[in-house]
């Protein structure tokens, strides 16, 4: 919550700047995009965790709105997912209002997707695990209506490329999210195929390689590590849910293969 306190105090905006600062400022009713930082030559200063958390929050909801509108219309499921995310983050009424405003700004035709993603990438300081979490959230948002529209897929491909992920890595994340979506309502009845998808492996993968993938994914989604790298503290529940799913998938595969 430290980043929010600085925002309320009016000091965080001067550190954010750029297109993310403009979005946040418009939502908050302040001019955060003043001074030299508003230019395309904006560069993030390293090490400011609160600013990175604010950038993550701002980019998450605005890009989510952009992806939702990319197929020409925003469905009730996509709006519900955005609201559910706000609920999981336990946002107070003012924070929820800001998040909804960011989502709506992302739907606008003049939303500068390229500039927002580029600033977010710079703000993450090459923290791959943080950018991966962001990408997973956006893929999950695209699947809100239980399908991946070609336009949504195109935006996700561009997003992944801009953040430094290969199309193969994106495909793995999509399968992981697809597997998670199948088991979300009934986690105790996880299908083996979904367990493999969540761990990014196949039925033909050896237990040695599956264990490596399981440990790597656990490390990538460790809540404390993600928060220390700039994940807003309000999103820690999302990280906990993902680690729980990864653990469930590992247990399902072990049980099926008779491993201890």
Residue 51 burial (CB count, 10 A): 24
The residue among 51, 65, 55 whose CA lies nearest residue 113 is: 65
- Please report which confidence band the pLDDT of residue 238 belongs to, taking 50, 70 and 90 as the band edges: confident
What is the number of structural domains in the chain?
1
Q: Is the pLDDT of residue 36 over 70?
A: no
Name the H helices within the chain: 2-9, 13-16, 18-28, 49-69, 76-88, 93-107, 113-123, 128-142, 150-163, 167-183, 192-199, 207-220, 223-229, 236-257
Indicate the pTM of the whole model: 0.85
The residue among 144, 211, 199, 209 whose CA lies nearest residue 175 is: 199
Residue 165 burial (CB count, 10 A): 19
The first and second tokens of residue 9, run together, are 């105090």
| Parent domain of 252 | 2-257
pLDDT at 243: 93
Q: For 57-107, what is each residue's pLDDT tens digit?
A: 999 999 999 998 987 888 888 888 888 888 877 788 888 888 999 999 999
Percentage with pLDDT > 70 across the chain: 84
pLDDT at 6: 62
Q: What is the mean pLDDT of residues 168-192?
A: 83
Percentage with pLDDT > 90 across the chain: 44
- Please report which confidence band the pLDDT of residue 118 belongs to, taking 50, 70 and 90 as the band edges: very high
The first and second tokens of residue 257, run together, are 């293969």
Q: Is the pLDDT of residue 128 over 90?
A: yes
* The most confident of 69-73, 74-78, 165-169, 187-191, by mean pLDDT: 165-169
Mean pLDDT of the chain: 83
């Amino acid at each position: 919550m430290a980043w929010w306190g600085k925002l309320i105090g009016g000091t965080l905006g001067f550190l954010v700047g750029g297109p993310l600062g403009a979005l946040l400022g418009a939502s908050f009713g302040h001019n955060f995009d003043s001074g030299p930082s508003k230019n395309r030559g904006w560069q993030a200063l390293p090490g400011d965790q609160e600013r990175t958390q604010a950038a993550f929050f701002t980019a998450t909801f605005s890009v989510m709105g952009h992806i939702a509108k990319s197929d020409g219309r925003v469905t009730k499921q996509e709006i519900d997912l955005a609201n559910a995310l706000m609920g999981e983050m336990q946002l107070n009424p003012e924070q929820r209002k800001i998040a909804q405003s960011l989502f709506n700004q992302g739907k606008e035709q003049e939303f500068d997707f390229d500039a927002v993603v580029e600033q977010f990438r710079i703000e993450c300081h090459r923290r791959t695990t943080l950018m991966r979490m962001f990408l997973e959230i956006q893929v999950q948002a695209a699947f809100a209506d239980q399908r991946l529209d070609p336009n949504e897929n195109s935006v996700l491909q561009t997003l992944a490329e801009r953040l430094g992920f290969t199309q193969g890595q994106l495909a793995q994340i999509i399968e992981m999210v697809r597997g998670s979506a199948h088991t979300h309502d009934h986690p105790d009845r996880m299908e083996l195929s979904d367990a493999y998808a969540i761990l990014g492996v196949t039925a033909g993968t050896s237990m040695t390689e599956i264990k490596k993938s399981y440990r790597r994914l656990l490390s990538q989604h460790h809540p404390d590590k993600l928060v220390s790298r700039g994940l807003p503290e309000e999103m820690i529940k999302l990280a906990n849910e993902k680690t729980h799913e990864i653990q469930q998938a590992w247990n399902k595969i072990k049980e099926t293969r008779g491993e201890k």
